[in-house]
Structure 1
Amino acid sequence: MAHSVKLKAGDAFPNISATLPNDNTVLLSQPQEGMTWQAIFVYRGKHCPLCTKYLNELETYKQAFSDAGVGIIAVSADSKAQLQEHMEKLDISFPIAYGLTQAQMQLLGVYISVPRSEQETDHNFAEPGLFIVNEHGDLHVVDISNNPFVRPELGALTRGLAWIRDPDNHYPIRGTLNY
């Protein structure tokens, strides 16, 4: 059985690009203008109502992320057409990208699911993952799940990021001991 390789806390985040709805390519780890860190939210796709709810909730925390100096982007393995359909149910202003490949999902170490039917979706897709990349391009916070029911609570996450980013706290990257 093949083993999934997980990114480790403190690792350099891989150079992974995806495509924005306007056809521009974006480097997922590149902080947005004025931000020094980047939060990358990997979501399942338009077929997932919990993803739609989470992405819309994420919009309400955009300012809290910004206050902590953290840009946000969401990405899935959906096609452009699927993302365009999904945008009709989303009320977001942060960047969202499509076209994550299976090789990219494997590089990220997210769990990958096979669709239950053609009605669900037409491609293998990533289960939820969150990767927060610091100003050095390193993975500072990571959270991956094998199903859509387990994701970081956004209020706790933004409060935690503000605390981590406060220089008075001297908070290192956690979970770096490899054995």
Structure 2
Amino acid sequence: MSLQAKLDAFKADFEAGKPPYNVPHAVIEVMHRATAELIAAGAAEKALKAGDRAPDFTLNDPEGNPVSTADLLAQGPLVVSFYRGVWCPYCNMELQALEAALPSFRALGANLIAISPQTAVNSRKSVRQNALDFPILSDTHNDVAAKFRLRFALPDYLVELYRNLKNDLPGFNGDDSWTLPMPGRFVIGQDGVILYAEVNPDYTRRPEPEDMLPALRKAANVTA
């Protein structure tokens, strides 16, 4: 089953209020409103695209070790996935799909990292629960997400909903800004140029990991 098929099946059960979710329809309507407004604002069109130069950055892994794009790109092309947090089931299913595709990425000489605003403790939990063999780097305040033009502030009505649902983003992220990254997936060549970019303001829609393989093959041929 494809990643999107799994996400669609989860979404159908969640929005139908099936146990164990039991989510009221009014909550679903608020989430739909926030997504629709983000789409209408043209948020995805503002994000970095294929052909743009990726920003350089250094972030810490869950153990506090610095990881830099300069070091990773010296080894080969780089796959970057922006991850909202351990609390997001759609994101966790995406991480699991990326993990399953990791051998294909590595066979083409590529590294894979996820980037999240959450604290190191929560990233360690994500790595453990999703059985990941790649790191989740801590992007405090979504600063790197902002460089990729993915950061957005939650509208007040969505903040109120999250609070009512006990989804404490300030607690998860160690930051009271109530910002998140749009889900984004990038392939960066060794020259720092983005070869593939997929950004969607609808967090229930994610590209298949295999969609990046043509860009990775192109990068492998360039460096061969």
Within the candidate set 34, 37, 47, 1:6 is matched to 47
Hey, what's the Cα distance between the residues in 1 that align with 2:120 and 2:162? 20
SS in structure 1 at match of 2:63:
coil
CA distance in 1, matches of 2:99, 2:78: 15
Alignment of 1:7-156 (within 5 A): 7-28=48-69, 30-31=71-72, 35-114=75-154, 115=159, 116-118=161-163, 119-120=166-167, 121-122=169-170, 123-156=178-211
Greater Rg over alpha carbons, structure: 2
Matched residue SS, 2:80? strand
Separation in structure 2 between the aligned mates of residue 50 and residue 3 of structure 1, nearest angstrom: 22
Deviations 1:101-129 (A, max 9, x none): 33322211115252542322224211211
Looking at structure 1, the residues matched to 84 and 205 of structure 2 have their Cα atoms a distance apart, in angstroms, of 12
Structure 2: stretches of 5+ with no match in the other structure: 1-40, 171-177
> Aligned pair 1:164/2:218, yes or no?
yes
Aligned equivalents of 1:13, 1:152: Cα separation in 2: 20
> 1:46 Cα deviation (Å)?
0.8
TM-fit CA distance, 1:3? 8.6
Identity across aligned pairs (percent)? Answer: 21
Aligned length, in residue pairs: 165
Q: Letter of the aligned partner of 2:96 in structure 1?
A: N
Q: CA RMSD in A?
A: 2.6
| Contact 2:72–2:78, Cα closer than 8 Å, also in 1 | yes
Could you tell me which amino acid in structure 1 is paired with residue 59 of structure 2? A
Any gaps of 5 or more consecutive residues in structure 1?
169-179
The 1-side partners of 2:179 and 2:201 are apart by 13
Give yes or no for contact 1:132–1:139 (8 Å, CA) kept in 2.
yes
